[in-house]
């Protein structure tokens, strides 16, 4: 009788995100696909400072705390978020079936509520190797602290999700949980819903200026600091006109602006600030080339960059550093690769070389479009997420 009643209600899923749901593409589309599959999904996140943005399709957003962007990286801000999440989880503990923690920043409150109420199951969705990322950006001590935290909290994890085969193997050695891979591939349906079509690169623009796009979170270890040097070298070539379009925001943006200003290169850089995901696609296809210059770190090498898929989706020719986990995909699409560490001269030469090779640009464009349409898209990838949840539902709850 109890199982019959259980089967008639929706399974209650709480996701925890130390960030802003409307602009976190991965979390938002996971929440949407689970909602469409019949699950009742709520996301605990931060109160956004950028205003209300549409979420769509029944996903509930519960912003538990407001933290200014520049304070999000502080331990104090993170602790306050954990306390706010735990308060919500305790208040709603009797109705929760699964807590789905996104990254290590969302895991501790999920761990605590699963200890307090053993019926609740825990899914750990690791977008990156967080301890290794902390070592790359901070120190070995931070690596040890975050690794210890992850190992403690993972004792309650039943299912493990990660974004690349390498990350999943590494985490599986640490965490005794059922693993499955969920690539960060484009959601073509979402893009079509917004535009009515997939924005596509239409070849080199008519004017003589080489326009280079670099979208994303403007932070360290992504090679932004090398761009002024590259621009300075390009600027010595009287036959070349060029513009770097820097799309996005981040902690490194003020420093990058300063470097550009000190070299008197402001006419060669355009900074958009934060824009929506859809606007990013529009801006990219208006350029000639896209780049991404992720540096040689453990975390960068272990991840399969979603930026590669974003470039492939719109068919723009692109330049990328030869990260270990990303290299097979880069070779598959024929992208122009640079070996780390890159210099400004390497970047300038790559831009000129690729721009002068229209056959290669055309091949990169067509191959990327074909691979995303046939293999690397969210419609195919999301089937695995729904299947995993069906397995959890059947295995744990029997309905």
How would residue 7 be classed by pLDDT, with cut points 50, 70 and 90?
Answer: low
pLDDT 10s digits, 310-352: 999 999 999 999 999 899 999 999 999 999 999 999 999 999 9
98-102 and 60-65 strand pairing: unpaired
- pLDDT value of residue 52: 53
| pTM beyond cutoff 0.85 | no
Torsion of Cα atoms, 37 then 42 then 47 then 51, to 10°: 40
- pLDDT value of residue 278: 80
% pLDDT > 90, the chain: 68
**Overall average pLDDT of the 190-219 stretch:** 88
C-alpha atoms less than 13 angstroms from C-alpha of 226 in its C-beta half-sphere = 20
**Overall average pLDDT of the 217-240 stretch:** 94
**Overall average pLDDT of the 231-247 stretch:** 94
What distance in Å separates the CA atoms of residue 282 and residue 275, rounded to the nearest whole number? 11
Of the ranges 43-57, 117-131, 248-262, which one carries the lowest mean pLDDT score? 43-57
* Token pair in block for residue 85: 């999440």
What distance in Å separates the CA atoms of residue 184 and residue 237, rounded to the nearest whole number? 38
- pLDDT value of residue 1: 45
* Token pair in block for residue 37: 């599959």
How would residue 300 be classed by pLDDT, with cut points 50, 70 and 90?
Answer: confident
| Model confidence at 6: pLDDT above 90 | no
Q: Collapsing DSSP states into helix, strand and coil, what is residue 273?
A: strand
Cis peptide, bond prior to residue 29, ω within 30 of zero: no
- 38, 186, 335 from 214: Cα distances, Å: 38, 18, 15
**Overall average pLDDT of the 109-132 stretch:** 94
**Burial (0-12, 13-18, 19+ Cβ within 10 Å), 60:** middle
Q: What is the mean pLDDT of the chain?
A: 90
- Greater model confidence, 59 or 369: 369
């Amino acid at each position: 009788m109890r199982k019959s009643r259980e089967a008639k209600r929706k399974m209650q899923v709480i996701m925890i995100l130390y960030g802003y749901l409307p602009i976190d593409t991965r979390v938002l589309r996971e929440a949407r696909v689970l909602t469409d599959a019949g699950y009742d999904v709520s996301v605990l996140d931060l109160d956004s400072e950028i205003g209300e943005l549409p979420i769509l399709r029944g996903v509930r957003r519960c912003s538990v705390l407001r933290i200014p962007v520049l304070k999000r990286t502080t331990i104090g801000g993170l602790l306050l978020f954990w306390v706010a999440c735990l308060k919500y989880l305790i208040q709603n503990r009797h109705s929760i079936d699964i807590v789905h923690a996104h990254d290590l920043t969302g895991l501790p409150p999920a761990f605590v509520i699963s200890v307090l109420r053993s019926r609740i199951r825990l899914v750990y969705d690791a977008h990156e190797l967080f301890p290794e990322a902390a070592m790359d950006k901070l120190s070995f001590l931070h690596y040890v602290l975050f690794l210890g935290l992850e190992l403690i909290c993972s004792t309650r994890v039943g299912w493990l999700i990660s974004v690349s085969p390498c990350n999943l193997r590494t985490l599986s050695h640490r965490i005794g949980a059922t693993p499955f891979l969920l690539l960060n591939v484009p959601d073509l349906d979402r893009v079509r819903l917004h535009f009515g079509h997939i924005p596509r690169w239409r070849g080199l623009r008519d004017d003589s200026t080489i326009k280079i796009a670099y979208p994303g979170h403007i932070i360290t270890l992504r090679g932004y600091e090398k761009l002024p040097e590259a621009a300075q070298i390009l600027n010595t070539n009287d036959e070349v006109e060029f513009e770097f379009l820097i799309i996005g925001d981040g902690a490194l943006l003020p420093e990058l602006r300063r470097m550009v200003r000190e070299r008197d290169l402001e006419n060669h850089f355009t900074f958009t600030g934060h824009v929506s995901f859809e606007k990013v696609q529009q801006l990219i296809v208006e350029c000639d080339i896209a780049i991404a210059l992720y540096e040689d770190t453990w975390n960068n090498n272990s991840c399969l960059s979603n930026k590669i898929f974003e470039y492939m989706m719109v068919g723009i020719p692109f330049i990328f550093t030869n990260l270990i986990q990303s290299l097979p995909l880069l070779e598959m699409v024929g992208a122009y690769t640079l070996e780390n560490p890159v210099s400004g001269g390497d970047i300038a030469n790559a831009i000129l070389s690729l721009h002068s090779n229209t056959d290669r640009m055309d091949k990169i464009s067509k191959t990327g479009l074909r691979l995303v349409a046939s293999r690397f898209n969210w419609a195919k990838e999301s089937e695995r997420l729904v299947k995993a949840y069906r397995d959890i539902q059947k295995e744990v709850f029997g309905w």
